[in-house]
């Protein structure tokens, strides 16, 4: 894949993620429960991470490319962390302890993300380790988080089937497969794994778009009745 195709893939992925933010913010708007804010934040940071990689691919400035790649790494990892945290708290009872715990974790994630991004711009104070090694570790965490969400949603649908969102677990499995293929490419430079990583990611985002639109349309129709 040439740079133009890769940049286009990142732009399309970012656009799909930002469209999904519009749908993912609905649970928070309807309930005003802060524990659901991780859904729009997660997909927003996914979109931002794809933009950072697009910027990296479109530049010839080595320092700028390195900065964008690190920012992409951090924002994507925190995106999956936000999503996993949201699903972890989504079915817990609305007790004060639960609210405080979710507030604390979300606040800690935001602070951690800010500090991580600042580290990129202050290399004299914080010597960054090998990008390749950190990238591989982060991809493992991304796979774990995405797989956890996929299994969580699959179990939820098994216990209480919901036709409007029945395909949601598939979307998270596809994102997890995308991260896995990206990890394989990082380890052995497999071109097929590289292409598969982008295809799985785009397929996952399209599944989410289909599920979100279907659920949103159903909710809109029910309100009109």
Q: Is the CB of residue 47 less than 8 Å from the CB of residue 14? A: yes
How much is the average pLDDT of 158-169? 81
Taking the C-alpha atoms of residue 67 and residue 63, their distance in angstroms, rounded to an integer, is 6
Residue 1 pLDDT level (bands cut at 50, 70, 90):
low
CA distances from 2 to 12, 30, 114 (A): 16, 43, 32
Task: Look at residue 93 and tell me whether its pLDDT is greater than 70.
Answer: no
Taking the C-alpha atoms of residue 97 and residue 112, their distance in angstroms, rounded to an integer, is 22
Task: Look at residue 193 and tell me whether its pLDDT is greater than 80.
Answer: yes
Task: Look at residue 94 and tell me whether its pLDDT is greater than 60.
Answer: no
* The predicted structure's pLDDT at residue 165: 79
Taking the C-alpha atoms of residue 82 and residue 41, their distance in angstroms, rounded to an integer, is 7
CATH architecture of 3-224: Up-down Bundle (1.20)
How much is the average pLDDT of 126-139? 83
Of 13, 67, 23, whose CA–CA distance to 45 is shortest? 13
| More confident: 133 or 29 | 133
Taking the C-alpha atoms of residue 164 and residue 138, their distance in angstroms, rounded to an integer, is 32
pTM of model > 0.85:
yes
């Amino acid at each position: 894949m040439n740079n133009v195709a890769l940049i286009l893939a990142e732009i399309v992925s970012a656009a799909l993620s930002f469209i999904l933010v519009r749908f993912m913010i609905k649970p928070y708007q309807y309930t005003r429960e802060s524990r659901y804010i991780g859904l729009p934040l997660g997909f927003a940071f996914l979109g931002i991470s794809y933009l950072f990689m697009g910027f990296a691919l479109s530049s010839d400035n080595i320092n700028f490319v390195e900065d964008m790649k690190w920012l992409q790494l951090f924002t994507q990892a925190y995106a999956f962390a936000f999503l996993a945290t949201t699903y972890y708290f989504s079915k817990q009872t609305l007790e004060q302890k639960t609210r405080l715990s979710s507030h604390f974790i979300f606040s800690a994630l935001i602070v951690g993300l800010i500090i991580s991004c600042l580290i990129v711009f202050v290399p004299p104070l914080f010597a960054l380790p090998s990008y390749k090694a950190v990238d591989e570790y982060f991809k493992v965490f991304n796979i774990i988080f995405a797989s956890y969400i996929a299994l969580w949603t699959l179990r939820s649908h098994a216990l209480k089937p919901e036709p409007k969102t029945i395909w949601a677990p598939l979307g998270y499995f596809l994102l997890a497969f995308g991260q896995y293929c990206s990890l394989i490419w990082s380890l052995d430079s497999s071109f097929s794994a590289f292409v598969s990583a982008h295809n799985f990611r785009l397929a996952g985002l399209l599944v989410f778009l289909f599920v979100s639109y279907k659920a949103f349309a159903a909710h809109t129709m029910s309100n009109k009745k």
